[in-house]
Amino acid sequence: MNTQKIHFIGIKGVGMTALAILALEKGYEVTGSDVEDTFVTDIALEKTGIVVTSFDAKNLQNKPDIVVLSAAYNKDNIEVKEARKKRLNIKAYSEILALFSSESQVIAVSGIHGKTTTTALISFLLTKANLNPSYVIGSGEIADLPASGHLGSGDYFVLEADEYRKSPDDNNSKFFDLNPQIEIITSIEMDHPDMFLTDEKVYEAFYKFACRIPRKGFIVLCLDYPKAKKLLRSLADRNFETYGFSEDVAWQIIDYLESVDSTSFSLINEGKNIGPFVIKIPGEGNVLNATAAVIVALKLGIQEKSIIKYLAEFQGVKRRFEKIGQFNDITVIDDYAHHPHSVALTLEAVKKRFPDAKIWCIFQPHTYSRTKELLSSFATAFNCADKVIITDIYASAREKEATITAEDLTQAIHINQKQVKYVSSWDKITQELIDNVGGKTVIITMGAGDIYKLGQNILKELKK
């Protein structure tokens, strides 16, 4: 039997890279193309030996059996045009994810926040417990796993279930292609205003996704969001395992404590204390992520004492509170936070983990639409930082015009946080830090764009 060929258009995206690695392990001959810019996935792709080329119609000369299209590209891409011309089998990323996971028990992690870390945690716990899961995780690197994508021999397939649109030409959410037996919904609130006009539209997407769960399956739902409570009330014929910090949940988080090098918490379920659990990754957000992972692990029969042991070993995910390095008393951290809620939680975690340090936050806003729609929430998100620098907005390729500026965001933040300024270039930001940073300090770069590249440069210049 001939080896099937699969080609990924936009292979450098974190989800696409993980899926390509899985396809390689499934025995496909894998090729991919993308822009020449540096991505967080470059090293992961290089390790696999997958050849990545620039976009070119010639890449499809060998007529691959499947062409997988990233949600970032549409019919205007030169390879998409060529694939259509040759009448090749073009599939969206989410369709191939659904195909590859179709014969497994799918554990789908959804939500506006925490998807990647929660998916990584569940994959790690199941791997440590010798359940040998398959997984697709939207990260360039997970310290505790060999790669972001893996084909396991076990029954379970752990994956991120994304609420965002399937492609520029198809406004349906990606997660509608999936058929999970277990769902995790970490959070429901307003995001992706270029797709969802209101938070009610966001809710409707998650409601439809929850309806995809079979009645013998279950949904692990964080109740710390009003829309999550509405979902629970609206689906009486599904099995829920609710969690959060409030008392009206099945799995209540208690005894949450931050120290300089770890975070600890316990759970109460049906009157029984479970834990305590200790994790290396800080903040309330990560306690919630870990709680969801604990619930899934317990429901799948992993022993409490084993979960306690494994959780303490988990080191985290690239671009999630990732320590870039240290010079004297200055620590440089990078984080993917780009929604005001996650920005606020992450800065709160920095303050708790480094209580005596001055916090400099370098924030790169992500997309004009999100910045504009959530402007009032961004205005209050930076109060835990001592100094805030706003960079230019990292726009989506799909956005035709600038509907808001970084200066507008800076002015909005200034009402609540006087120590904020807009700085127009990375060189100027680096110089600003060199000139002003001293003593015990944390510099944290934040955003979903390419801001992660700045942290290494800052560290290098500080060491000169």
Q: Check whether 17 has a pLDDT greater than 90.
A: yes
C-alpha span between 433 and 442 (Å, rounded): 11
Q: How far is CA 297 from CA 106, 124, 129, 308, 406, in A?
A: 14, 10, 9, 11, 43
Q: Which residues contact 206 (CB under 8 A, 6 or more apart)?
A: 110, 163, 185, 188, 227, 231
pLDDT for 397 equals 74
Average pLDDT for residues 380-401, to the nearest whole number? 92
Annotated binding-site positions: 111-117
- Position 377 confidence tier, pLDDT thresholds 50, 70, 90: very high
What tens digit of pLDDT does each residue of 198-213 get? 999 999 999 999 999 9
C-alpha span between 285 and 163 (Å, rounded): 19
What tens digit of pLDDT does each residue of 162-191 get? 999 998 889 999 999 999 999 999 999 999
pLDDT for 407 equals 98
Share of residues in the chain with pLDDT > 70 (%): 100
Q: Which residues contact 428 (CB under 8 A, 6 or more apart)?
A: none
C-alpha span between 390 and 78 (Å, rounded): 35
Q: Is pTM beyond 0.85 here?
A: yes
Residues in the chain: 464
User: 216-225, 329-338, 398-407: which range is least confident on average?
Assistant: 398-407
Average pLDDT for residues 58-75, to the nearest whole number? 94
Packing angle, helices 284-299 and 304-313, rounded to 10: 140
Average pLDDT for residues 341-368, to the nearest whole number? 97
C-alpha span between 338 and 164 (Å, rounded): 15
Q: Identify the structural domains of the chain with CATH numbers, from first to last.
A: 5-91 (3.40.50.720), 103-313 (3.40.1190.10), 322-463 (3.90.190.20)
C-alpha span between 424 and 330 (Å, rounded): 23
- Position 1 confidence tier, pLDDT thresholds 50, 70, 90: low
Average pLDDT for residues 228-236, to the nearest whole number? 97
Annotated binding-site positions for ATP: 111-117
Average pLDDT for residues 335-342, to the nearest whole number? 97
pLDDT for 464 equals 82
pLDDT for 3 equals 86
Average pLDDT for residues 306-333, to the nearest whole number? 96
Q: Check whether 271 has a pLDDT greater than 80.
A: yes
CA-based nearest residue to 100, from 88, 89, 110, 92: 92
User: What is the rounded average pLDDT for all residues in the chain?
Assistant: 96
